[in-house]
């Protein structure tokens, strides 16, 4: 397919906010693409050239993109910049100037040619790479048509944002095959094992449902992490899963470790052709599937020394400890290790221990379908403990297999008295369900005085400018929401204006400044009365504690319009869910927007608090 044809579709997607329409449009594109094009086009639609978990960045600021345009079209800087200020959208400005050169309106430039050029642009590094990037982009701008140029430059600028999530793409792949979304569960299951949207699209096109069913983990592609259900007594746990393994719930951060004894190659990847770009043989991924290898050199070294395997994927919770006393540190201190700078210094100051608790893959064998007890047995063999275990960085999380509720309660109390968050009970014959919150793991946390025991992970949608004291932070209140899976929308549950420390307001401000957008993203469903002064991309996740979930007409979570008997043509509101006395617990930098609490979970919590 030509890039110009894709651009016409992108324009249609950009102008609709109907999820169904976007799904249909994407399906139509996918149907028209061939096997070689589909995966790469999916990346381009996400404004990328590699899957989300791969680090490649374009490294092109607006200034460089302007330079490339001036070079491509031989324009005068001043008039270009004046016009760009008036339009306020660099993509549209480039399009306008480009359309003034009809002789350059070439529409026969293929998607693959554009993709390959952008990949070269993204991977250029070292001396002279800035000039090379500008030249590659200038060459592209010169050769494509005006509408294409609008979208092309949004890719290196990082502002492609078409307002649909990975889930909508999965629905579209189902539509591509069957004209409805009935295949979404099968496609999504495969995506949870290999959350590389381009790869999944290619397999769906090439091998259909059969191919999707045979997808297995791949070293260096993170597996979506399994999550725990919640219960609040030993009795409920035993009733649910019977005799089970109980471990402490460590309050650190989760890591998924990928290890291969040989060096990394890009074999089998869509983006193959690139040389070994990374000489490490360990990769660490966070809950949000971010590659955080560079942040934890101590864990990387420990994996090389303490893991006995040719290839392994395993998970654990990393937690800071005091080397003098051997005591574990509270989350607020451990979290200081999550940083981009001064890594060596902090590594010394706050060393980590990794409590391994899951084995997912070992020496070519996929363990996802293997029962927990067996996975655990293999995990114990993989972690090498020689002599004094206190000297190891990686330890296998201790556990006790318990037959009754009393024992669970005892272990729970013991964990709480040690300052831990609670316990996690694991079903002995449970499999590992990537990406799912299921009953194979059950968390039992300290119950609080409030009616809801658990916290809610919310997405920050936007904020209002500050008045009064908080003018100095430039922020008065921020709007948060949860995820409505059915509609693929973020729906609101609270606007929070109090209870943050100065430090927290500052952090929120700094984070927000990176993700501002001009208008309300189409994925946000917000009542008129709750609209924000500043809108943010779906990036910042915060953990919120509240006293109660109530009903409120001003929030859109679970708010429904239903027909009434008396006035069948008209509709009447069922109010939404709102959080009472919401307060910030912590920033969840380790979570992605699709990791936030779902509307269904809020509904369950609402139902439960009455009982
Ligand atoms: P929470 O907010 O309650 O920490 P979460 O939303 O981060 O939970 P859940 O799946 O609900 O994620 O809770 C499980 C989390 O607990 C895991 O992601 C992991 O980080 C952490 N954890 C700590 N100790 C363990 C353990 N022994 N086994 C499994 N997970 C553990």
pLDDT of residue 324: 81
Residues 572/421, Cβ–Cβ less than 8 Å: no
* 577 bridge partner residues: 551
Q: Which of 409, 425, 446 is the last residue of a domain?
A: 446
- 428 and 489 co-located in one domain: no
Residues 257/303, Cβ–Cβ less than 8 Å: yes
Asked whether residue 436 is domain-assigned, the answer is: yes
pLDDT of residue 273: 42
Query: At 437, which CATH number?
Result: 3.30.470.30
Asked whether residue 92 is domain-assigned, the answer is: yes
Whole-number CA gyration radius for the chain: 25
Burial (CB count within 10 angstroms: exposed 0-12, middle 13-18, buried 19+), residue 24: middle
- 260 and 394 co-located in one domain: yes
How far away, in angstroms, is 410 Cα from ligand 1 center? 20
Q: What percent of the chain has pLDDT over 90?
A: 66
* 282 bridge partner residues: 259
Report DSSP state, residue 61.
-
- 400 and 317 co-located in one domain: yes
Torsion, CA 185, CA 190, CA 196, CA 201, rounded to 10 = -70
Asked whether 65 lines ligand 1 (CB < 6 A), one says no
- 442 and 484 co-located in one domain: no
pLDDT of residue 546: 87
Average pLDDT over residues 20-24: 94
Residue 595 DSSP SS3:
helix
Asked whether residue 7 is domain-assigned, the answer is: no
How far away, in angstroms, is 249 Cα from ligand 1 center? 7
What are the backbone angles phi and psi of residue 122, rounded to the nearest 5°?
-70, -30
- 346 and 262 co-located in one domain: yes
Best mean pLDDT range from 128-132, 372-376, 558-562, 604-608:
372-376
Q: Which of 426, 446, 466 is the last residue of a domain?
A: 446
Asked whether 424 lines ligand 1 (CB < 6 A), one says yes
* Whole-Å CA distances, 127 to 132, 133, 139, 354, 444: 10, 11, 20, 38, 54
Active-site position among 249, 283, 445, 545: 249
Q: 577 among the known binding-site residues?
A: no
Confidence of residue 125 (pLDDT cuts 50, 70, 90): confident
Q: 581 among the known binding-site residues?
A: no
pLDDT of residue 270: 53
Asked whether 256 lines ligand 1 (CB < 6 A), one says no
Residues 181/502, Cβ–Cβ less than 8 Å: no
* pLDDT tens, residue by residue, 146-172: 999 999 999 999 888 888 889 999 999
Asked whether 247 lines ligand 1 (CB < 6 A), one says yes
Question: Tokens at residue 383, please?
Answer: 């972690």
Distance between CA atoms of 327 and 323, rounded to whole angstroms?
8
Asked whether residue 303 is domain-assigned, the answer is: yes
How far away, in angstroms, is 503 Cα from ligand 1 center? 26
* 259 bridge partner residues: 282, 312
What is the domain range of residue 126? 47-157
Our mutation pick for probing the ligand 1 site, out of 315, 398, 443, counting the most ligand atoms within 8 A of Cβ, is 443
Query: At 138, which CATH number?
Result: 1.10.3260.10
* pLDDT tens, residue by residue, 45-98: 999 999 989 987 888 889 999 999 999 999 999 999 999 999 999 999 999 999
Distance in Å from the first CA to the final CA of the chain:
57
Mean pLDDT of the chain: 89
pLDDT of residue 598: 95
SS3 labels along 145-171 = CHHHHHHHHHHHHCCCCCCCCHHHHHH
Residue 309 DSSP SS3:
coil
Residues 356/379, Cβ–Cβ less than 8 Å: yes
* 42 bridge partner residues: none
Asked whether residue 476 is domain-assigned, the answer is: yes
| CA angle 383–387–389, rounded 5-degree value | 60
- 306 and 417 co-located in one domain: yes
Report the number of distinct structural domains present in the chain.
3
**DSSP letters for 92-153:** HHHHHHHHT-GGG-----BHHHHHHHHHHHHH--STTHHHHHHHHHHHHHHHS-HHHHHHHH
- 428 and 462 co-located in one domain: no
Residues 311/362, Cβ–Cβ less than 8 Å: yes
* pLDDT tens, residue by residue, 476-516: 889 999 999 988 899 999 999 877 888 888 899 999 999 99
Residue 249 known to be catalytic = yes
Distance between CA atoms of 549 and 557, rounded to whole angstroms?
11
* pLDDT tens, residue by residue, 423-475: 999 999 999 999 999 999 999 987 533 466 788 999 999 999 876 555 667 78
- 341 and 370 co-located in one domain: yes
Residues 545/480, Cβ–Cβ less than 8 Å: no
pLDDT of residue 563: 54
Asked whether residue 42 is domain-assigned, the answer is: no
Confidence of residue 268 (pLDDT cuts 50, 70, 90): very low
- Which ranges in 404-552 belong to alpha helices (H)? 405-417, 502-514
* pLDDT tens, residue by residue, 378-424: 999 999 887 787 889 999 999 999 999 889 988 987 887 777 888 99
Distance between CA atoms of 272 and 269, rounded to whole angstroms?
5
| pTM across the whole model | 0.79
Residue with tokens 């025991």: 453
394-396 and 352-362 beta bridge pairing: parallel
Examine the pLDDT at 203 and tell me if it is beyond 60.
Answer: yes
Residue 67 DSSP SS3:
helix
Our mutation pick for probing the ligand 1 site, out of 254, 286, 372, counting the most ligand atoms within 8 A of Cβ, is 254
* 199 bridge partner residues: none
Residues 24/180, Cβ–Cβ less than 8 Å: no
Asked whether residue 4 is domain-assigned, the answer is: no
Q: Which of 446, 475, 505 is the last residue of a domain?
A: 446
- 523 and 595 co-located in one domain: yes
Asked whether 443 lines ligand 1 (CB < 6 A), one says yes
Asked whether residue 376 is domain-assigned, the answer is: yes
Strand extents, DSSP E, 546-608: 548-552, 560-563, 571-574, 576-580, 583-587
Q: 437 among the known binding-site residues?
A: yes
pLDDT of residue 447: 57
pLDDT of residue 265: 52
Distance between CA atoms of 13 and 19, rounded to whole angstroms?
10
Examine the pLDDT at 280 and tell me if it is beyond 90.
Answer: no
* pLDDT tens, residue by residue, 282-338: 999 999 999 999 999 999 999 999 999 999 999 999 999 888 887 888 888 898 999
pLDDT of residue 311: 95
- 465 and 429 co-located in one domain: no
Query: At 477, which CATH number?
Result: 2.40.50.140
- 396 and 440 co-located in one domain: yes
Q: 207 among the known binding-site residues?
A: no
- 377 and 479 co-located in one domain: no
């Amino acid at each position: 397919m030509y890039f110009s044809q894709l651009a016409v579709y992108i324009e249609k997607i950009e102008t609709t906010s109907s999820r169904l329409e976007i799904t249909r449009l994407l399906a139509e594109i996918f149907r028209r693409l061939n096997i070689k094009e589909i995966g790469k086009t999916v990346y381009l639609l996400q404004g990328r050239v590699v899957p989300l978990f791969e680090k490649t960045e374009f490294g092109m600021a607006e200034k460089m993109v302007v330079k490339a345009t001036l070079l491509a079209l031989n324009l005068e800087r001043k008039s270009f910049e004046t016009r760009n200020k008036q339009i306020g959208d660099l993509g549209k400005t480039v399009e306008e100037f480009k359309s003034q050169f009809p002789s350059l309106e070439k529409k026969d430039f293929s998607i693959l040619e554009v993709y390959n050029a952008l990949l070269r642009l993204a991977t250029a590094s070292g001396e002279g790479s800035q000039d090379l990037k500008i030249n590659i982009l200038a060459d592209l701008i010169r050769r494509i048509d005006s509408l294409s140029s609008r979208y092309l430059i949004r890719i290196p600028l990082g502002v492609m944002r078409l307002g649909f999530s990975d889930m909508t793409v999965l629905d579209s792949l189902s539509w591509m095959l069957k004209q409805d979304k009935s295949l979404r569960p099968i496609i999504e299951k495969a995506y949870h094992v290999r959350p590389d949207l381009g790869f999944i699209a290619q397999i769906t096109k090439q091998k259909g449902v059969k191919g999707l069913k045979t997808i297995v983990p791949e070293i260096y592609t993170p597996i979506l992490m399994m999550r725990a259900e919640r219960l609040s007594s030993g009795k409920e746990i035993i009733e649910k899963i019977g005799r089970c393994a109980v471990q402490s719930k460590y309050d650190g951060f989760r890591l998924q470790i990928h290890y291969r004894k040989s060096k990394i190659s890009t074999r089998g990847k869509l983006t193959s052709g690139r040389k070994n770009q990374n000489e490490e043989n360990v990769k660490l991924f966070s809950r949000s599937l971010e590659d955080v290898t560079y942040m934890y050199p101590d864990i990387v070294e420990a994996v090389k020394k303490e893991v006995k395997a040719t290839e392994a994927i395993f998970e654990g919770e990393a937690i800071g400890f005091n080397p003098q006393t051997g005591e574990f540190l509270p989350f607020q201190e451990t979290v200081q290790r999550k940083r981009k700078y001064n890594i060596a210094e902090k590594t010394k100051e706050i060393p980590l221990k990794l409590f391994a608790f899951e084995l997912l893959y070992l020496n070519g064998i996929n363990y996802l379908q293997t029962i927990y007890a067996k996975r655990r047995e293999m995990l114990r063999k993989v972690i090498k403990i020689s002599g004094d275990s206190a000297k190891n960085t990686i330890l296998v999380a201790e556990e006790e297999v318990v037959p009754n509720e009393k024992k669970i309660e005892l272990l729970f109390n013991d964990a709480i008295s040690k300052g831990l968050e609670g316990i996690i009970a694991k079903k002995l014959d449970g499999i590992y369900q990537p990406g799912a919150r299921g009953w194979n793991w059950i968390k039992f946390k300290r119950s609080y005085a409030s009616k809801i025991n658990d916290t809610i992970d919310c997405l920050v949608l936007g904020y209002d400018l500050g008045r009064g004291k908080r003018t100095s932070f430039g922020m008065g209140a921020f709007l948060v929401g949860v995820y409505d899976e059915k509609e693929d929308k973020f729906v609101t549950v609270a606007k929070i204006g109090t209870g943050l420390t100065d430090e927290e307001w500052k952090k929120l401000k700094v984070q927000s400044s990176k993700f501002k957008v001009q208008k309300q993203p189409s994925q946000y469903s917000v009542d008129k009365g709750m609209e924000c002064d500043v809108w943010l991309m779906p990036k910042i996740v915060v953990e919120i504690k509240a006293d109660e979930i109530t009903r409120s007409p001003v929030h859109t979570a679970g708010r429904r319009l239903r027909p009434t008997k008396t006035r069948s043509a008209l509709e009447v509101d069922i109010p939404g869910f709102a959080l009472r006395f919401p307060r910030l617990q912590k920033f969840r930098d380790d979570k992605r927007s699709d990791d936030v609490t779902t509307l269904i979970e809020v509904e369950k919590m609402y139902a439960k608090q009455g009982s």
